[in-house]
Amino acid sequence: MKKLLLASTSTLYGQSYLEYLLPQLNDFFSHATTITFIPYARPGGISHDAYTELVATAFSKIDKKVVGLHDFEDPLEGIAHAEALFTGGGNTFLLVQQLHNLELMQPLRDKINHGTPYLGTSAGSNIAGPSMKTTNDMPIVHPPTFMTLGVVNFNLNPHYLDPDPNSTHKGETRETRIREFHQLNTTPVIGLREGNYILVNGNQSTLKGTGTARIFEAGKSPYESSQIPNF
């Protein structure tokens, strides 16, 4: 049975990396001793090694080992033998370009569909949906396609931000951007605020964390929900 934990952010303000998720991750990864980490999104441009070290430090607190997928000579082998998977945040364009160039999208999809637990934060959550078209990131590289894993039937907008009623800035709000997406696409979008995450068990998705999520469906007004609708 498919098992995913899709978080808006890896880190809450004033906390250490993954800190707020560790109790939940202890349970989520209870059957795994080693987590295979996909570091390709390189937040702030850090190296694969440095990123993997950061992740290993966090997971050592719940006695899990971490191996970086970049450390396998053949990353396909790394995925095939993974007990558990984690894709960290950073730049979604870079992450998706790497996964496509290395032809890992389909093996990763199959692995998740066969029940290997998958954790995503930010960009790593973005790629669980049918496309990366609702990322907030800058297009610093050109992936051959924006199609992603599609292991859930909705797109995510991580780090979701409500419009600031006092703002004088004229750049688009997150809501305007998602409305533009729905002029040309029909996939539902979950605006997932920091502190929230989605637990997926088979075909059942549950919203966890604090407060509601903002749900966007094509042709409807956006609305707040404490549940993930059955789209």
- Closest C-alpha to 142, from 89, 87, 96: 96
Residue 35's H or E segment, with its range, is strand 34-38
- Least Å distance between CB 118 and its own copies? 21
Question: Residue 162 catalytic?
Answer: no
Of the residues 72, 113, 146, 208, which one makes contact with its own copies according to CB under 8 A: 146
Q: Which of 8, 10, 70, 122 is catalytic?
A: 122
Query: CB-based burial of residue 145 (10 Å sphere; 0-12 exposed, 13-18 middle, 19+ buried)?
Result: exposed
Question: Residue 63 catalytic?
Answer: no
Could you tell me the two tokens for 106?
A: 């389909």
- Least Å distance between CB 134 and its own copies? 6
Q: Is 134 in the site for its own copies (CB under 8 A)?
A: yes
**CB of 107 closer than 8 Å to CB of 123:** no
Residues 28-67, one symbol each (x = binds its own copies by CB under 8 A, - = not), give --------------xxxx----------------------
Query: CB-based burial of residue 69 (10 Å sphere; 0-12 exposed, 13-18 middle, 19+ buried)?
Result: buried
What's the CA gap between 68 and 78, in Å, rounded?
9
Question: Residue 122 catalytic?
Answer: yes
Task: Please report, in angstroms and rounded to a whole number, the separation of the first and last CA atoms in the chain.
Answer: 19
Angle between helices 92-101 and 105-113 (to 10 degrees): 90
Q: Is 9 in the site for its own copies (CB under 8 A)?
A: yes
Q: Is 219 in the site for its own copies (CB under 8 A)?
A: no
Q: Is 187 in the site for its own copies (CB under 8 A)?
A: no
Of 23-31, 86-94, 103-111, 205-213: span binding its own copies (CB under 8 A): 86-94
Q: Which residues are identified as catalytic?
A: 122, 137, 159
Residues engaged in binding its own copies (CB under 8 A): 9-14, 42-45, 90-91, 93-94, 132-142, 145-146, 158-159, 161, 168-172, 176-185, 194
